[in-house]
Amino acid sequence: MLSLFVMAFASATLLPGGSELWLAGLWCRGEAPLALWLVATLGNTLGSLVNVALGRYATQYVDRRWFPASRAGLARAQRWYRKGGEASLLLAWLPVVGDPLTVLAGIARLPWWRATLWIVVSKGGRYAVLLWFAERYFSCG
């Protein structure tokens, strides 16, 4: 289970990862679905909160040469995030766009408890659907 936590955590940060396959492998080994769901959701949520923290503190480096976004690019991203609002974090589970959304929530200084709530719903929902799908449609034999 620790391996699932680590994979889920890494997958939620800006690092590449594939917690879904790890989750499926552990499910096939007979691990309890509720335990899998809890561990994966916790790891993935905490990883996303690292992104929120990066967003909160990254803007102080915007004028540095090595910083990956320009001031204008950040302003565009913030405007886009404000249009969707904090509910856009329900899409935090999506590949490619999910991680930047959590960074934008940090840049927008969304309160921690609200960011956590939206992220738990998003990430927990995804893992619940994955486990439901696995239980219903797959056998590991």
Name the nearest CA neighbour of 99 among 19, 2, 1, 4. Answer: 19
Q: Is the dihedral of CA 81, 87, 88, 93 positive or negative?
A: positive
Give CA angle at 114 (109, 119), nearest 5°.
100
Give dist(CA 90, CA 111) in Å, integer. 16
pLDDT score recorded for residue 14: 61
> For residue 3, what are its two tokens?
């391996």
The tens place of each residue's pLDDT in the chain, 141 residues long, gives 888 998 899 888 766 678 888 898 899 999 999 999 999 999 999 999 999 999 998 888 878 887 777 788 778 877 878 888 899 999 999 988 888 899 889 988 899 999 999 999 999 999 999 999 988 888 876
Give dist(CA 58, CA 131) in Å, integer. 35
